[in-house]
Copies of this chain bind each other. A is one copy, B any other.
Amino acid sequence: MTGRINTLAIIGVGLIGGSLSLALKKHNAVGRVIGVGRSQANLDEALRLGVIDAIATLEQAAKADIIFVATPVAQMPRVFAELAPHLGATSILTDGGSTKQDVTAAARAALAERFSQFVPAHPIAGTEKTGAAAAFATLFEKRKTVICAEAETNPHAAGVVAAMWEKAGAEIHRMSAAEHDDVFAAVSHLPHLLAFALVDMLAEMPRSADYFNYAASGFRDFTRIAAGSPEMWRDISVANRAALRGQLGAYRARLDAFDRWLAVADTDAISAIEAGYSRASKARNAWQKHIEYGEPMPPLGGVSRDG
Residues from chain B with a CB closer than 8 A to the CB of A208 are 283, 300-301, 304
Q: What per-residue 1/0 map shows which CB atoms of A255-295 lie under 8 Å from chain B?
A: 11011001101000010011011111111110110110000
**Closest beta carbon of chain B to A5's beta carbon, Å:** 26
- A225 B226 Cβ-Cβ under 8 A: no
Among A19-27, A86-94, A157-165, A188-196, the one that faces the other chain is: A188-196
**A250 interface residue (CB < 8 Å to B):** yes
Q: Is the CB of A276 within 8 A of B216?
A: no
Interface residues of A in 215-236 (CB under 8 A from B): 215-216, 218-231, 233-234
Q: Is A113 an interface residue (CB 8 A)?
A: no
Find the B residue at minimum CB distance from A273. Answer: B234
A245 contact set on B, CB distance < 8 A: 259, 262-263
Q: Dominant SS at the A interface?
A: helix
A255 touches B262 (CB 8 A): no
B288 contacts A227, C-beta separation under 8 Å:
yes
CB pair B225 A222 closer than 8 Å = yes
- Asked whether any CB of chain B lies closer than 8 Å to the CB of A207, the reply is yes
Interface range for A:
35 or more
Report how many copies the assembly holds.
2
A199: Cβ under 8 A from any B Cβ: yes
Whether B216 pairs with A187 at a CB distance below 8 angstroms is yes
Q: CB of A254 within 8 A of chain B?
A: yes
A203: CB under 8 A from chain B? yes
What's the nearest-Cβ distance from chain B to residue A29, in Å?
Answer: 24
Select A251's contact among B198, B210, B219, beta carbons within 8 Å.
B198
Residue of B nearest to A202 (CB): B186
- Whether, in the assembled complex, A200 has its beta carbon less than 8 Å from a beta carbon of chain B, the answer is yes
A195-B280, A277-B196 known; A203 vs B255 contact (CB < 8 Å): no
A115-158: CB near B (< 8 Å → 1, else 0) gives 00000000011000000000000000001101000000000000
Q: Name the distance in Å between A210's Cβ and chain B's nearest Cβ.
A: 5
**Given A254-B200, A277-B230, are A211 and B187 neighbors across the interface (CB < 8 Å)?**
yes
Question: How near does chain B come to A297, taking the closest CB pair, in angstroms?
Answer: 6
Q: Is the CB of A297 within 8 A of B200?
A: no
Q: Would you give the shortest CB distance from A251 to chain B, in whole angstroms?
A: 6
Chain B residue nearest to A234 (CB atoms) is B274
- Which residue of the partner chain B has the closest CB to A222? B191
Which residues of B have CB within 8 Å of A287? 212, 215
CA distance A256 to B238 in the complex (A): 15
A1 CB within 8 Å of chain B: no
Give Cα A211–Cα B210 distance, bound, in whole angstroms. Answer: 36
* CB of A263, distance to nearest CB on chain B (Å): 7
Bound state CA distance, A40 and B200, in angstroms? 47
- Contacts A225-B221, A248-B255: A238 and B195 contacting too (C-beta < 8 A)? no
Q: Across the A-B interface, give the 5 residue pairs with the lowest CB-CB distance, nearest first.
A: A230-B277, A199-B280, A203-B283, A230-B278, A208-B300
**9 A-B residue pairs with CB within 8 Å:** A183-B211, A200-B254, A212-B290, A218-B225, A223-B284, A229-B281, A234-B274, A237-B273, A238-B273
